[in-house]
Amino acid sequence: MQKKITLLLLLAFSCQLFAQTVTIKARPSDAAPHISKHIYGHFAEHLGRCIYDGFYVGEDSKLPNTVGVRNDIIEALRALKIPNLRWPGGCFADTYHWKDGIGPKENRPTIVNQWWGGSTEDNSFGTHDFLNLCELLDTEPYLSANVGSGTVRETEEWLQYTTHDGISPMADLRRSNGREQPWRVRYWGVGNEAWGCGGNMTAEYYANIYRQFATYMRDWNLQDDTPVFRIASGASGDDYQWTETLMKNIKPDLVEALALHHYAVTDWSDKGPSVSFDETQYFGTMREALKMEEFVVKHAAIMDRYDPEKKIALFVDEWGGWYDTEPAYEAGVLYQQNTMRDAMIAGTTLNTFNNHADRVKMANLAQTVNVLQAVILTDAEKMLLTPTYHVMKMYAVHQDATLIPLSFDSPKYTLGDEQLPAISASASRDSSGKVHFSLVNIDARKSHTIKIEAAALQLSKLSGEILSSAAIQDYNDFDTPGKISTETFRGASLRQGTISLEIPPFSVIVLKGE
């Protein structure tokens, strides 16, 4: 009898282990889409300490800087290979009048930031400062035009000011302000969140306004490689009717992309803490983050009906985790810490974008410095890189690579009566032939064994790196800025075309195969 009980226990244990094994099939295809590097974009708004006391400390600062921008931030973002940077908002964009931010700084008018804290800004960081910063970072600028409180003429003149190389009033004004050659500005947002802070418009009304603005946004610079790329203010989350209305009412020759915004928030009236959360709060955040898959699929399906050739891109130009502001930083609006939970949001969300690269052509993490799911935090002269920064750097290998479609059934991460897929994955092959797999396990308690059937990829060598920590609430602070960082991962083996590994709870692994 005892032997029978022992055998049953062993069988039960074996079944449990078998149930936790994930078999991923890699299916390279000549028809697979290109993963645009712009999926790895960023967002910088005049909000809290993102611009002032974040990026920008001023030319007279004792902190090492280049024309007022912190050198340590420039160095960190260069290492991240950020492909684009969206500015000046966000909600701030539809109160921003660009001419207030040009010319001698001592002559610029002040502005009250009515959306974020009611602070008074001196406009010392304006168009020249931002576009010069993008050149320092070797990144493409993405300007958000003021539709909510601005005019068609104001937007058209901004386009002319920044991009026209000939003789015109705005090009001449730019030259008088010290910039002879135009900048390369391709991406232009036509308003932001028109359904909310951008004007509380209906979709039908915004479609009409959009058509008016887009009609006058011409290719002033006449450079064949830099046509104006106009982005319509798109839906929030599951507002599929907004996407339907825009696709139905905007002529295809007037729009190059629709935006989509989604934040991983469980309760907008009580977002919860950024550090002292429990597993229930973590599970809820991940449930909201994983909705990105559903939103991308369903918005893309609507777009497919009107645009089967996929000429119009989907830009998820605001995404990330959003929690209550850290109490010690109330003056720094939307300042929050960044834990391993945020690494899970970043890893799973980027996998979603990679896997839908046929329609998703840009995404912008909110935000770059000191705001929401920032990749960089600063405190006076101190600076640190967050877990999200490390995930973005690990995933940079997918930029401009070719997607390798994967198929698998994920085990479940279970809490009470709820379940979520525990494993997220994407893969690509770069121009040199190297293959990369990005794997995430969001389960707060269980490791999972993964086997990747990769014989078709003809790999002979394998390496990897991992981001993990002892607790899901762990984060980097200014006393221990290196507590969480990537490490070499040696736990993967490659035998007869099959990759085998065990992925720990709440961890991110990127494998390189050659």
This prediction's pTM: 0.94
Give the other-Cβ count within 10 Å of 138's Cβ.
Answer: 11
How far apart are alpha carbons 264 and 44 in whole angstroms? 19
Can you identify the CATH homologous superfamily of domain 22-30+405-513? Golgi alpha-mannosidase II (2.60.40.1180)
Q: Which one, of 225, 370, 229, 239, lies nearest residue 311 by Cα?
A: 229
Are the C-beta atoms of 428 and 507 separated by less than 8 Å? no
Please count the helices (runs of H) and the strands (runs of E) in the chain.
Answer: 11, 27
Q: What angle do CA 178, 182, 184 make, to 5 degrees?
A: 135
Tell me which residues are annotated as active site.
193, 318
Give the residue carrying structure tokens 């991940």: 286
Tens digit of each residue's pLDDT, the chain (514 residues): 333 333 333 333 443 444 478 999 999 999 999 999 999 999 999 999 999 999 999 999 999 999 999 999 999 999 999 999 999 999 999 999 999 999 999 999 999 998 898 889 999 999 999 999 999 999 999 999 999 999 999 999 999 999 999 999 999 999 999 999 999 999 999 999 999 999 999 999 999 999 999 999 987 665 656 689 999 999 999 999 999 999 999 999 999 999 999 999 999 999 999 999 999 999 999 999 999 999 999 999 999 999 999 999 999 999 999 999 988 876 668 999 999 999 999 999 999 999 999 999 999 999 999 999 999 999 999 999 999 999 999 999 999 999 999 999 999 999 999 999 999 999 999 999 999 999 999 999 999 999 999 999 999 999 999 999 999 999 999 999 999 999 999 999 999 999 999 999 999 999 999 9
How far apart are alpha carbons 292 and 288 in whole angstroms? 8
CA distances from 275 to 7, 122, 147, 279, 336 (A): 44, 33, 37, 12, 8
How far apart are alpha carbons 366 and 313 in whole angstroms? 20
Assigned CATH for 37-400: 3.20.20.80
Backbone angles phi, psi at 7, to 5 degrees: -65, -40
How far apart are alpha carbons 473 and 284 in whole angstroms? 15
Question: What are the residue ranges spanned by the domains of the chain?
Answer: 22-30+405-513, 37-400
Q: Which one, of 349, 466, 450, 453, lies nearest residue 405 by Cα?
A: 453
Q: Is the peptide bond before 160 cis (omega within 30 degrees of 0)?
A: no
How far apart are alpha carbons 209 and 148 in whole angstroms? 10
The per-residue DSSP string of 105-164 comes to: GGGPPPEE-TTTTT-EE---S-HHHHHHHHHHHT-EEEEEE--SS--HHHHHHHHHHHH-
Pairing of strands 187-190, 111-112: unpaired
